[in-house]
Amino acid sequence: MPSLSMYTGALSKCEEARTPLRYTQVVPPARPPYRLATLPTGARVVSTELADRPSVTMAIMFKVGSRYESDKEAGISHFLEHMFFKGSARYAGAKEIAEAIEGVGGVLNAGTDKELTMYWARVPKTKAKLAIDVLGDMLFQPLLDPAELEKERLVVLEELRMYQDSPQEYVHSLFEQISWPDHPLGRDVGGTEASVRGLTRDDLLRYLEEHYLLRNLVVTIAGPVTQDEAIGLIQPYLKSRGNGAAPPSFLPSVGNGLKPHVLLKAKKTEQAHVCLGVHAPSYMDRDRHVIDILNCVLGEGMSSRLFLEVREKLGLAYDVHSYVNKMYDTGVLGVYAGTEPRQAARAVGAIVGQLRRLCDEPVPTSELTKAKEFFKGRLLLQMESTNSVATWYGGQEALTGRIEGVDENMAEIDAVTADDVKRIARELFSQALQLAVIGPFRSEAPFLKQIA
């Protein structure tokens, strides 16, 4: 940038001549809002310095999840996540870990997915060192106490049962099961009662050594912390595992056949719960943004087609929506509805009608614009939180090895056309629909008729 002194002489001359000063100012390229560093150990640190925020979020992400598990060890990623909270070298048990963060008003949590496991803490900005101290000690010096393991096994089993007793949630697991039959992607992230009962401490230690490698690790920090400060905070805690072995791989995705299928779980419920859909583009696919806009048109929000048709016009459901889940080599577009059992088949037929409409008619310009603005607006609102900022940048680096900024993402959303949406709709719905149903039914026949 030129200094102000370069222009003072020229200004006085211009004032004398009564002519405006004209000059070209060279603007340097904008620096990305995040900083990325790869440490000598292979661990990566992604930091987003947000000087005006009162909080700091730190997340530690390992590229591992349920799709890396064998049938025998199903649920081990989730079980290990639980055990990290049960005590470490400096924090003797769950109480000490929780009190360390909650004692300053912070939040500590974790989540296991199919391809990523994340541990995070959000604390006041003055407590950043405390957050990484707790997370670092939990993850790199866990006790995995045998007595605590047996107690936590019971907790994990209760979590599985709780989920299975919630049909509006469990129907999504059944949908994944029928979408990827006999494949790790089709299994519940938590595993099964049988697999969880069979896991031993040695199994957890082996899995830890094989998967929780520094080359599989991304640490992401958002808040009033510089990149150098972030690296200085995390680096002392990083301990190598695996003796240099390469991270294990996962089974590639497979198709679910050429015929529509219905997976029915007969259960006495007041509502029928249905979830149907197809395989969709992955987060590595060139059409990943097209499917996002198609999803907004179809079933995101109260002005979407599904909401207006199935709820407002036909009165068939209170909750009806669509969603997209993306993995490395596949994805899924799903539609959920909760409805009166006698209306369930009709609701499925109405949903299928909206899917066909996307194939037959181009989305009008005004509706396409609305969908784009909906998506971009939701993204911008999410970025107000240090949690979302940390997971947005860190999650991309952990899963794809490439970070797409918010502006870049929104530009690609703006580039989606009505022809793109129609094209991808025809590709998607040329596949056989898969449908999971929970409710008081004796036969799949009425539902199969609607999706055939």
Q: Domains in the chain, start-ordered, CATH in brackets?
A: 35-244 (3.30.830.10), 261-451 (3.30.830.10)
| 369 contact partners, CB below 8 Å, separation of at least 6 | none
For the stretch 245-257, pLDDT in tens is 788 899 999 887 7
DSSP run (H or E) holding 127: none
Q: Residue 341: how many CB atoms within 10 A of its CB? A: 16
Cα gap 21→246, rounded to integer Å: 62
| Per-residue pLDDT at 21 | 34
Secondary element (H or E) of residue 289? helix 288-299
Joined tokens for residue 39: 């440490």
Distance separating alpha carbons of residues 186 and 178, to the nearest angstrom: 7
The pLDDT of residue 198 is 98
Contact between 44 and 218 (Cβ < 8 Å): yes
H helices present in 300-343, as ranges: 305-306
Closest among 136, 283, 137 to 219, alpha carbons compared: 136
Contacts of 143 (CB under 8 A, 6+ apart): 86, 87, 88, 89
Burial of 321 (0-12, 13-18, 19+ CB in 10 A): buried
Query: Where is 400: in which H helix or E strand?
Result: helix 386-400
Q: Which residues pair with 110 in a beta bridge?
A: 119
The DSSP letter of residue 310 is I
For the chain, what is the radius of gyration of the CA atoms? 26
Q: Which of 115, 68, 42, 34 is nearest to 283 (CA)?
A: 115
The catalytic residue among 69, 73, 81, 176 is 81
What's the pLDDT score for residue 32? Answer: 66
Count of C-beta atoms within a 10 Å radius of residue 319: 14
Asked if 115 is an active-site residue, the reply is: no
Regions of the chain short of the pLDDT cut 50: 1-29
Tokens representing 394 are 């860190």
- Euclidean distance between the first and final Cα of the chain, in Å? 65
84 touches 139 (CB < 8 A): yes
* Measured torsion, CA atoms of residues 378, 399, 131, 47, in degrees rounded to the nearest 10: -70
pLDDT at 17: 32
Q: Where are the beta strands (DSSP E) in 104-229?
A: 107-112, 117-124, 217-223
Please answer whether residues 447 and 178 qualify as being in contact, where contact means their C-beta atoms are separated by less than 8 angstroms. Answer: no
